[in-house]
Structure formats: C-alpha cells, structure tokens
C-alpha cells in the first residue's frame, strides 16, 4: 500500500473540511449568536487546515493508486471527518463527552440521523446547521464533493469515487471522473434547492426549510424539533418531503438520462420499476391493514405512504409512532429498512438492485435443481449477469449478515430485548437511525455507554461505505505493500 498517497489525499480532504467548517459562521451572524460560538468552529477549522496542509504535502506517484488505496482513502477520510467534525459540538458546550460528539458527527456524515440530543429545540442554530450540513455532504459523498470542486483527470479519482458512491454498480456519467462528480453535485444542489423552495411556499420558516431539505436530500432525517415531521402538522409539508425522499432514493444516473432526453431508458430501468413497485405495494398493504384495524381510510393510506418512503429511503422522518401500529405494518417497515433505496442514490440499506439480484439468483437456483438439464441465467436490466458479478453480490450479502450478527451480539450486552438489539443494529448499518422497541422513534441514543456509542459510530460509517473500506482498513494485510491489488 502506498501510504504517502493515502495520507496526501486524506490531507486534502481534511483541508477542504476546514473550509466547510467556517460556513456556520454565517448562521452565527444572522441569528446573532454569542461571538464565543465562532471559536467553536474557527479553532477546529484552523486545526483542519494546518494538519490537512501538512499531510497533503506527502509526495506520491498517482500511478501507484489501486483499489486498496482507494478504499483506504475513503475509510480514513470518513473517520477523520467524524473526528474533526465532532470538535464544534464539544467546544460549543452543546455536548460534553467525546463519545457523544463523535457519535453525532458520524451519524451526520453517514446520513443515519440518530442523535444523542435529548432536546434539539434548545440547541443553537449554528450547531443544528452544522450537524445537518454534515449529513447533506455525506449524502452524495464528501470525497465526491472534493472531486467536484477540484477538477482533475487524475487516475486516482476513479478509485476514490468507486469506493464512496454506494451501490452494486457504478454507472459512468462522463469519462472524466471530475465531470461526473460535478454533474452529480449540480443535480444534488438543484434538487435540494427545489425542496427548500417548496417548503418555504408551504410556510415553513427558512431555517427549518433548509435543514429539512438537507435531511430529505441526504435521506438522513435530522430536524430542528423533537417530534420530527409531526411537529408541523401540515399535509402539504408531508407530501413535499415524501416525494423529495422518493426522488433522492432514485439512482442519480437516471436523472442524467432525463437531462439527455433518454426517457425510454429511464422508464425501462428495472431497478426503478422494483423501487416504485415495492413502495406502491407496501403502502397499499400497510394502509389497508391500518384501515381494517380501525384507522381512517385516507389517513391510513397517507401515513402508510409517508412511512414506507421514509423507511425504504432510510431517511426516518417520523410522522407517526409506527411502533404502536399492528404487527404486520411493523414487519413490512422492518423489511424495507433492509432493502433501502436504489444504487447510486443517497439512501442506505442493501440497495434494491442487490435485493432483486439475490431474489432472482435464488429463483434461478430453484429452477436449476428442478430442471438440472436446463441452462438457467440471471437477468437484470435486460442483460444476463455473469457469475462473477452475482458472486460479488452474494459475497457482500454474506459479509453483511456476518457483520450484522456480530453487531447484534455486541449490542445485546447493553440491550437485553432481542427486537431492540436487532433493530438497533439495523438502524445503524442501514443508516436509518430509528428502529423498534427501546430504539423506536420516540427515543434517542444518549442512554448508551461511551464504548457502545463509539462502536455504533463505526457501524454507521461501515454501513454508509458499504463495509469493504472499513474491513480493509482494519485488516492487518492491508498494511503490507505486497498485497496491493488493482
């Protein structure tokens, strides 16, 4: 592994984070917060600039960039961002322990939306803005953002982008990685601004509108109030956010197709059809179940639609306490938490494409057993998928299950109820932030011990980066140059 290369790029990321950390100063000035709050951001920003500048001076050959270096850059960058990003929480006095601050920051960057704040309504606007900004940056990817603002055709860029952009596949937007990153962020910013404008038209305060849009765009779920979306008691706001979450759960490559008038390709996309079908069927089933259990018909469909989109996109904006619903809707929502959104979106979870291929592979295997002489292949997106690609999907799923099981075992040391431990790990690794039982939508994570918060932070980051970068970072063999692979 080329350590100089890794440290240099990580240094550049830390330096950019330092500049970004100055943006809450405008919020401090606008809302006339105490000038002392400025130092909560200026000090860590300067620290980032100094350390980042020092590390970025490390000399390296760009041609030495391989897959393993890409994974290492991403893993170390996200850990460093969570580390330095936690300082404003501590210096401002809003949080008092490193474990709390690190957890809150990791939750933001990973777009999990879990919080240790027991009352966010007393937190300063600058800190609320900072934590929402972390999740907005984490939604599309901080390293993708850096590639977008520092145009480059360097060979190492593609390895970084592949390691950070979630999903089973990575479709090229342009041949130049920097161009792809710029297109992604232009779409991301435009869609975020549209959401902000619609919320303002729905008479939501500007500050709340911006932060709610950040949460919907990143499918993160941070808000400025304790009762999430239920606080606003507005059907128009709920529908705006529901369709915004739905939109951000779609592969951004498909929006590029629309811009290029490839309408047929857009609507023929198989993963999109799976995504829309799952949302439609789940909403209908949950809505009917609620209706037959005594809830009003239209209200049942409305609450079901919002909750389904909120869960499948892993945003976890809360409209109603779904833990009080009958068992069937809760089971469906739990399954949606694992499915997640589309590959190449800001949503978490396994991703629809993986789920579809796993299901199709299982069906194909049953057919092979039933008809041993028949040639059976797995088709997805109108193409027969090769065994190497299918094997990579299955391997990821196996590793995911093993990490999940290990997580449940460790969490059970502090969470005695199985459903709570199970849904807690699901909320962390799938980047949802809420679950069932003692980690339901009306609870927060302040009750856990400091070591457990650090462990959960690592699970959140691992889930956002889709496990491999964190595993490679922790693997002893990673640090041996002889294991460098393309």
Q: Which residues are annotated as a binding site?
A: 111-112, 220, 314-315, 431
d(CA 212, CA 221) in angstroms, rounded, equals 8
The distance of Cα 299 from the centroid of its chain, to the nearest Å, equals 29
For strands 379-380 and 383-384, give the pairing: antiparallel
Whose tokens are 């592994």? That residue is 1
Q: Is residue 68 within 8 Å of residue 481, measured between CB atoms?
A: no
d(CA 292, CA 306) in angstroms, rounded, equals 19
d(CA 10, CA 15) in angstroms, rounded, equals 9
Q: Which residues are annotated as a binding site for K(+)?
A: 111-112, 220, 314-315, 431
- Tell me the three-class secondary structure of 217-282, residue by residue: HCCCCCCCCCCHHHHHCCHHHHHHHHHHHHHHCCCHHHHHHHHCCCHHHHHHCHHHHHHHHHHHHH
Torsions phi, psi for 375 (to 5 deg): -85, 115
d(CA 289, CA 283) in angstroms, rounded, equals 10
284-to-277, 302, 306, 312, 435 alpha-carbon distances in Å = 11, 10, 12, 15, 22
């Amino acid at each position: 592994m080329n350590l100089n290369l890794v440290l240099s790029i990580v240094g550049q990321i830390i330096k950019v984070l330092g500049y970004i950390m100055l943006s809450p100063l405008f919020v401090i000035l606008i809302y006339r917060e105490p000038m002392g709050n400025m130092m909560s951001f200026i000090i860590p920003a300067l620290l980032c600039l100094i350390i980042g500048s020092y590390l970025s001076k490390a000399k390296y050959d760009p041609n030495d960039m391989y897959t393993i270096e890409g994974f290492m850059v991403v893993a170390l960058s996200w850990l460093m961002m969570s580390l330095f990003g936690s300082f404003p929480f501590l210096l401002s006095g809003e949080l008092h322990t490193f474990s709390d601050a690190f957890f809150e920051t990791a939750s933001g960057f990973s777009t999990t939306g879990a919080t240790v704040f027991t009352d966010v309504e007393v937190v300063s606007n600058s800190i609320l803005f900072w934590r929402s900004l972390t999740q907005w940056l984490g939604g599309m990817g901080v390293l993708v953002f850096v590639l977008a603002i520092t145009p480059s055709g360097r060979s190492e860029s593609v390895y970084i982008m592949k390691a950070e952009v979630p999903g089973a596949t990575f479709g090229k937007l342009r041949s130049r990685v920097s161009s792809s990153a710029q297109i992604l962020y232009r779409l991301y910013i435009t869609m975020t601004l549209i959401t902000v404008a619609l919320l303002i038209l729905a008479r939501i305060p500007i500050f709340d509108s911006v932060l709610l849009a950040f949460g919907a765009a990143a499918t993160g779920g941070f808000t400025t109030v304790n009762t999430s979306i239920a606080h606003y008691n507005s059907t128009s706001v709920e529908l705006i956010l529901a369709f915004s979450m739905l939109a951000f759960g779609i592969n951004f490559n498909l929006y590029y197709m629309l811009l290029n008038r490839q309408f047929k390709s857009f609507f023929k996309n198989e993963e999109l059809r799976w995504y829309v079908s799952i949302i439609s069927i789940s909403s209908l089933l949950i809505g009917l179940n609620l209706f037959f259990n005594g809830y009003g018909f239209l209200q049942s469909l409305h609450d079901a639609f919002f909750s389904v989109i909120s869960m499948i996109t892993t945003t976890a904006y809360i409209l109603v306490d779904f833990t009080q619903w009958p068992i069937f809707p809760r089971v469906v929502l739990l399954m949606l938490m694992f499915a997640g959104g589309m590959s190449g979106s800001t949503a978490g979870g396994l991703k629809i494409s993986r789920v579809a291929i796993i299901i199709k592979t299982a069906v194909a295997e049953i057919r092979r057993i039933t008809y041993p002489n028949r040639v059976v292949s797995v088709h997805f997106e109108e193409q027969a998928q090769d065994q190497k690609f299918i094997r990579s999907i299955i391997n990821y799923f196996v590793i995911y299950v093993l990490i999940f099981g290990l997580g449940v075992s460790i969490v059970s040391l502090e969470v005695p109820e199985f459903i709570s431990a199970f849904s807690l790990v699901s909320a962390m690794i799938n980047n949802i932030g809420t679950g069932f039982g003692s980690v339901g939508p009306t609870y927060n994570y302040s009750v856990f011990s400091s070591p457990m918060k650090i462990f959960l932070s690592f699970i959140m980051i691992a889930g956002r980066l889709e496990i491999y970068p964190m595993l490679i970072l922790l693997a002893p063999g990673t640090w041996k140059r002889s294991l460098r692979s393309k």
